[in-house]
Amino acid sequence: SQQGEEDPQALSIQEGENATMNCSYKTSINNLQWYRQNSGRGLVHLILIRSNEREKHSGRLRVTLDTSKKSSSLLITASRAADTASYFCATDARDSSYKLIFGSGTRLLVRP
Amino acid sequence: DAGVIQSPRHEVTEMGQEVTLRCKPISGHNSLFWYRQTMMRGLELLIYFNNNVPIDDSGMPEDRFSAKMPNASFSTLKIQPSEPRDSAVYFCAGRAGQGNNEQFFGPGTRLTVL
């Protein structure tokens, strides 16, 4: 079964609004990553947050991690139509650092 | 750098035929992963190579699937014989080193088995 489960499964917002996506996972992790996938393309790494970090920023992206709740959130501020994509969280298990387990993804539509 | 290169980008074949997917990772990336993505099962890891050696093939669904990495710049995933349920997008991804978890994905091969 998948390590990460994301919600919502789909999100539709207006350009300029903020988008928040959530990810929950099951086992202890070393770090958690977020990836973006545009339609018909491969995944692109966005940001990595380590298990001892609580928050991280990169441009318009803000990621939080709550290891006690085994959850993470990705916030995209001031969204743009170009942000339309699927977003996946990925975790690596403490006992298997090479293996990334991907969540089911959130499909984000940003309406112009 | 051209990034991870996969070929073909699209493959349509008939059930029972052999399919070979190819991947050229980014130079210097010594870890290589093959994934399969479907609507039903999401993104699944099939096999992981480190320094051209298969480390974990527990995700390979059946004996019909095999993967090789003869050198640091080339890997293949072969399905023989193919079945309609193998239809999916197959991704190759690389990683620079064991201390770096970021993976770099290729554009994928969309396989349709009729």
d(C-alpha A29, C-alpha A99), whole Å: 11
Closest residue in chain A to residue B6, using alpha carbons only: A42
- Name which of B23, B30, B103, B112 to mutate to probe chain A: the one with the most chain A Cβ atoms within 10 A of its Cβ: B103
d(C-alpha A59, C-alpha A107), whole Å: 21
> What is the mean pLDDT of the segment spanning A49-73?
96
In B62-101, the residues whose Cβ lies within 8 Å of chain A are 91, 93, 95, 98, 101
d(C-alpha B48, C-alpha B34), whole Å: 7
Count of A–B CB contacts within 8 Å? Answer: 49
Closest residue in chain A to residue B56, using alpha carbons only: A99
SS (H, E, C) B3-58: CCEEECCEEEECCCCCEEEEEECCCCCCEEEEEEEECCCEEEEEEEEECCEEEECC
Cβ-based neighbours of A108, under 8 Å, separated by 6 or more: A10, A11, A12, A13, A19, A21, A76, A79, A83, A84, A85, A86, A87
d(C-alpha A32, C-alpha B73), whole Å: 28
- Name which of A3, A9, A99, A107 to mutate to probe chain B: the one with the most chain B Cβ atoms within 10 A of its Cβ: A99
Asked if the Cβ–Cβ distance from B105 to A97 is below 8 Å, we say: no
Q: Answer whether B102 touches A (CB < 8 Å).
A: yes
Pairing of strands A106-111, A10-14: parallel
The answer to whether the CB of B19 falls within 8 A of the CB of B11 is yes
Of the partner residues B43, B101, B107, the one whose CB lies closest to the CB of residue A48: B101
Distance from CA of B7 to the nearest CA of A (A): 13
pLDDT bracket for residue A94 (50, 70, 90): low
Least confident of A54-68, A69-83, B47-61: B47-61
| The pair of three-digit structure tokens given for residue B70, joined into one six-digit string | 């003869």
Q: What is the mean pLDDT of chain A?
A: 91
Asked if the Cβ–Cβ distance from B107 to A41 is below 8 Å, we say: yes
- Buried b / exposed e across B10-37, counting CB within 10 Å, b at 16+? ebebeeeeebebbbbbbeebebbbbbbb
d(C-alpha B100, C-alpha A55), whole Å: 19
Task: Kindly give the parts of chain B with pLDDT less than 70.
Answer: 1, 98-100
Asked if the Cβ–Cβ distance from A105 to B42 is below 8 Å, we say: yes
A57: number of Cβ within 10 Å: 11
Least confident of A81-85, A90-94, B86-90: A90-94
- Name which of A98, A101, A104, A107 to mutate to probe chain B: the one with the most chain B Cβ atoms within 10 A of its Cβ: A98
Q: CA triplet B68, B71, B72: central angle to 5 degrees? A: 110
Residue A4 confidence (pLDDT): 66
Which residue in A80, A7, A90 sits closest to A47, CA to CA? A90
Radius of gyration of chain B (CA): 13
Residue A1 confidence (pLDDT): 40
Asked if the Cβ–Cβ distance from B101 to A88 is below 8 Å, we say: no
Q: CA triplet A75, A76, A82: central angle to 5 degrees? A: 150
DSSP character string of A29-75: EEEEEEEEE-TTS-EEEEEEEETT-SEEEETTEEEEEETTTTEEEEE
